[in-house]
Structure 1
Amino acid sequence: MNVEVSRRRFLKGAGAGVAGTSLAAMGFGEAEAAVAAHVRPMKLANTTETRNTCPYCSVACGVIIYAKGDVRKGERADIVHIEGDADHPTNLGTLCPKGAALKDFVHAPTRLQYPMVRRPGSDKFERVSWDAALDRIARLMKDDRDANFLASNQEGTAVNRWTTTGMLAASATTNETAWCTFKVAKALGIVGFDNQARV
């Protein structure tokens, strides 16, 4: 059977199809609205909702993290869903591809979760406590600063520079935290100071 369709009839049919699917996508279709209202509460029922900031770039988009279990009650929290925060003024609920894949980032088997150290001469990393890691960092910083701190330049002018150590800070943070981090770096005399927004 050969059906002949004129160009005018084809355009009318295509236009009607576009209009119908557009109306359904905007929420005018009763079936779609019923399905959307039914699925969302079921997916996120019995989860703890936590607002946070995406860790990737310096845009600092807001995200909502849904987890089973409440850490505040001593339970282990298992993250089951992450989405953009529609109430956040930066991204209004949208996320870039990296931000949309945050759940995979959290559950990645290669994600570092504990302080690790590789001893001199060793070919593998071993887990250490947070106290041991922070004590080691403080000791190494103190030794390097004592050995390389420049209190004054050749003309005798006070400069208070520590040029052998740099600091890389996080850009996805609040203005207050960024201000405090900058003050700590400059109080130590650190000259090389940057954040991952330009890395």
Structure 2
Amino acid sequence: YHKDGKLISIEGDPESPISQGNLCPKGAASYQLLTHSRRELKVKYRAPRAKQWTEMSLDRAMDMVAERVWESRKRTFTTQENGSAINHTTAICHLGGATLDNEENYLIKKLFTGGLGMVCVSNQARI
């Protein structure tokens, strides 16, 4: 539940035949993902060979990530090997977090393998 844009509590679905309203450990810990006093609220960036972190806007950080991923993909994308179409890059990988659910992981897999041609897409829950 939330009030005035702030998270108040997280509850399970009492009609769920699996959990019967109880939260799994991940669900119970989700509250702290948003409310913990040590949660970083600003983007931190450390330039190559720099010793200090600097703050930057989220928009700028997202643009930097997108530019670097796209440049790496363009530079390393392989369309054919030994006469066979492969359409992939081995220069970029993705490691998902355990807080993602099945639906989110499915979309990530579709985007990164089908959209960007990444070969290595994994999740820390498997490791």
TM-score, normalised by the number of residues in structure 1: 0.52
Aligned pair count reads 124
Match of residue 82 from structure 1: 10
The equivalent position to 1:157 in structure 2, one of 77, 84, 91, is: 84
Whichever structure has more helix as a proportion of its residues is 1
- After superposition, the Cα gap between the structure-2 partners of 1:97 and 1:193, relative to the gap in structure 1 and judged at 3 Å, is closer
Structure 2 residue 80 is the aligned partner of structure 1 residue 145: no
Q: For 2:52 and 2:18, how far apart are their aligned partners in 1?
A: 41
Residues 46-94 of structure 1 deviation map (CA, whole Å, 9 limit, x = unaligned)? xxxxxxxxxxxxxxxxxxxx2331xxxxxxx232322222234552311
Match of residue 183 from structure 1: 110
Could you say what secondary structure the match of 2:79 adopts?
Answer: strand
The equivalent position to 1:116 in structure 2, one of 44, 48, 70, is: 44
1:6-155 equivalences under 5 Å are 66-69=1-4, 77-88=5-16, 90-153=18-81, 155=82
Could you say what secondary structure the match of 2:73 adopts?
Answer: helix
Give 1:162 shift.
0.4
Structure 2 residue 126 is the aligned partner of structure 1 residue 198: yes
Identity over aligned pairs, percent: 31
Amino acid at match of 2:56: V
- After superposition, the Cα gap between the structure-2 partners of 1:139 and 1:124, relative to the gap in structure 1 and judged at 3 Å, is same
Residues 123-146 of structure 1 deviation map (CA, whole Å, 9 limit, x = unaligned)? 333322222112111111122112
Q: For 1:159 and 1:94, how far apart are their aligned partners in 2?
A: 46
Amino acid at match of 1:159: I
Q: For 1:180 and 1:82, how far apart are their aligned partners in 2?
A: 24
TM-score, normalised by the number of residues in structure 2: 0.74
Match of residue 172 from structure 1: 101
